[in-house]
Structure 1
Amino acid sequence: MSDIEEIRRKRMQQLQQQAQQQSVDAESQERMRQEMEMQKKQAMMQILTPEARSRLANIRLTKPEFVDQIELQLIQLAQMGRVQSKITDDQLKELLKKVAGQKREINISWR
């Protein structure tokens, strides 16, 4: 019986180590995600005026994926040096119209 108990004890120990490792991995991933969010936020503060940031924050409430896409595009433009000054609210509106206009509308007509 002691062999079975020894196997159980070792297996339990392995499972506990795996759980601890997964916990550490999850914590490090969360830290990395938070760090990336902070970097993105700082980049947006450098790229956008306060009014434009406010507009994006409002849009994020309804379309978070869309705003993430816009933010990534803005960061890429800034990294390529194509953003000369801060993007104003009016410029952001134009950009949003262009990006939103690219999506297809599906019309269903009943006969």
Structure 2
Amino acid sequence: MQELMAHRGGGSQQTPEQQQAQEEAKSEADERRQMMLSQILTSQARERLARIALVNPEKARGVEDVILRAAQMGQIVEKISEEKLISLLEQINTQTTKQTKVTIQRRRSVLDDDDD
């Protein structure tokens, strides 16, 4: 019985070689991504994006995705300056602004009478 359980549990786990290969593939993809961004962005724009990534990594990743998609579609003809990056960030912020709504419900006491 234990052998059967060990066999089933072992099937879902990766071997160290598979994990290492997966990590290498991920690092290579990140390296290619950074190379592409360095070709598309000016140094000031890359620095700003790096600062954004320190504060909000998901947002920076989303901005990078937008920039890379635009570059792959041929929409970017020259390097993106810091000013263009700021305007792009503002556009993304206006599209993804979250509306917060606060509703206040007062508790009614058992002794309160609404029948008056």
Residue type of the alignment partner of 1:57: A
| Partner residue of 2:53 out of 45, 60, 63 | 60
Matches of 1:90 and 1:40, distance apart in 2: 22
Q: 1:105 aligned to 2:99? A: yes
* TM-superposition CA deviations, 1:18-77 (whole Å, max 9, x none): 7xx611111011001100110010011010000000000000011101111111111111
Q: How does 1:20-99 map to 2 (within 5 A)?
A: 22-99=15-92
Greater RCO between the two (CA within 8 Å, min separation 6)?
1
Residue type of the alignment partner of 2:81: T
Query: Residue 109 of structure 1: CA displacement?
Result: 5.6
RMSD: 2.6
Residue type of the alignment partner of 2:28: E
Deviating 4+ runs (over 6 angstroms): none
Deviates more, 1:35-44 or 1:99-108: 99-108
Q: Aligned residues: percent identity?
A: 29
Bigger proportion of residues as helix: 1
Query: Residue 81 of structure 1: CA displacement?
Result: 0.6
Q: Which runs of 5+ in 2 are unaligned?
A: 106-116
Q: Which runs of 5+ in 1 are unaligned?
A: 1-7
Q: Normalising by structure 1, what TM-score?
A: 0.78
Matches of 1:107 and 1:62, distance apart in 2: 25
The alignment covers a number of residue pairs equal to 100
